[in-house]
């Protein structure tokens, strides 16, 4: 059942600290329509009325209730063959997105998600912004980062997009640990 997939991924994202109480959003493709989480909903306690169905290209009466990131989800479904999307705020990946133009995960994660582009440098980005640029990038990648904001992952199922999100965060956590172990070359040690 579709609700149970949303509930399981939403709860896991929250429990792993990949979204905060009211952040993040999920969607799946349903033919010409999209089922997406409600605007401002809590992913850790989703119920049937938190799932909003609207058109991929057309609005309906439910459209205003959909997540504020609806324009990004729509653009991704219009421009790729993906069946599901997970948008999260993984903290280590966000930290690296503030310093890197591209995130290169460690060897363990590289075959899973590849190199991850960071989109939106030097741009004013509001909710739903960068929709076309994100969708274009997801033609070549399974997951992308928006500079200082969060990740967008695609998959055939929500579970798959969720797995790419956890892989990115796990890889970024290792990268952050490695950076913290490397000595700062600007700091001279006195002997
Ligand atoms: Zn976000």
What pLDDT is stored for residue 184 in this prediction? 67
Q: How far is the CA of 113 from the centre of ligand 1 (A)?
A: 20
Q: How far is the CA of 107 from the centre of ligand 1 (A)?
A: 27
CA–centroid distance for 100 within its chain: 17
Start-to-end CA span in the chain (Å): 65
Summarize pLDDT for 132-180 with one digit per residue, the tens: 999 999 999 999 999 999 999 999 999 999 999 999 999 999 999 998 8
Among left, alpha and beta (phi > 0; psi -120 to 50; other), residue 114 is left
Q: How far is the CA of 153 from the centre of ligand 1 (A)?
A: 12
Cα separations (Å) of 127 from 12, 23, 67, 132?
23, 11, 9, 13
Q: How far is the CA of 150 from the centre of ligand 1 (A)?
A: 6
What is the CATH code of the structural domain delimited by 2-181? 3.40.225.10
Q: What is the average per-residue pLDDT within 98-108?
A: 91
Q: What is the average per-residue pLDDT within 58-79?
A: 97
What pLDDT is stored for residue 188 in this prediction? 56
pLDDT band at 128 (very low <50, low <70, confident <90, very high): low
What pLDDT is stored for residue 25 in this prediction? 97
Residues whose CB falls within 8 Å of the CB of residue 59, separated by 6 or more in sequence, listed in order: none
- For residues 175 and 6, what is the distance between their CA atoms, to the nearest angstrom? 30
Q: What is the average per-residue pLDDT within 104-131?
A: 85
Q: How far is the CA of 65 from the centre of ligand 1 (A)?
A: 16
Which position has the higher pLDDT, 142 or 191? 142
Summarize pLDDT for 14-67 with one digit per residue, the tens: 999 999 988 999 999 999 999 999 999 999 999 999 999 999 999 999 999 999
Closest CA to 152 of 77, 100, 95: 77
Q: How far is the CA of 187 from the centre of ligand 1 (A)?
A: 36
Angle of the 158-181 helix axis to the 2-15 helix axis, nearest 10: 10
What pLDDT is stored for residue 22 in this prediction? 87
Exposed/middle/buried for residue 125 (C-beta within 10 Å: 0-12, 13-18, 19+): middle
Handedness of CA 40, 43, 47, 53 (dihedral sign): positive
CA–centroid distance for 6 within its chain: 15
pLDDT band at 76 (very low <50, low <70, confident <90, very high): very high
Q: How far is the CA of 67 from the centre of ligand 1 (A)?
A: 10
What pLDDT is stored for residue 99 in this prediction? 94
């Amino acid at each position: 059942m579709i609700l149970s997939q949303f509930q399981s991924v939403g709860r896991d994202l929250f429990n792993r600290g990949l979204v905060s109480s009211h952040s993040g959003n999920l969607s799946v493709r349903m033919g010409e329509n999209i089922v997406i989480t409600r605007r401002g909903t809590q992913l850790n306690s989703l119920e049937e009325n938190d799932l909003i169905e609207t058109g991929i290209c057309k609005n309906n009466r439910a459209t205003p209730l959909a997540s504020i990131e609806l324009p990004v989800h729509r653009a991704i479904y219009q421009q790729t063959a993906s069946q599901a999307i997970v948008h999260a705020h993984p903290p280590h990946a966000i930290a690296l997105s503030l310093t890197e133009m591209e995130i290169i995960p460690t060897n363990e994660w590289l075959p899973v998600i590849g190199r991850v582009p960071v989109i939106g440098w030097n741009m004013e980005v509001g909710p739903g912004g960068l929709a076309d640029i994100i969708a274009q990038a997801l033609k070549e990648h399974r997951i992308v980062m928006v500079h200082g904001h969060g990740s967008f992952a695609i998959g055939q199922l929500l579970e798959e997009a969720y797995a790419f999100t956890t892989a990115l965060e796990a890889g970024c956590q290792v990268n952050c640990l490695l950076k913290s172990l490397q000595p700062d070359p600007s700091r001279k040690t006195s002997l």
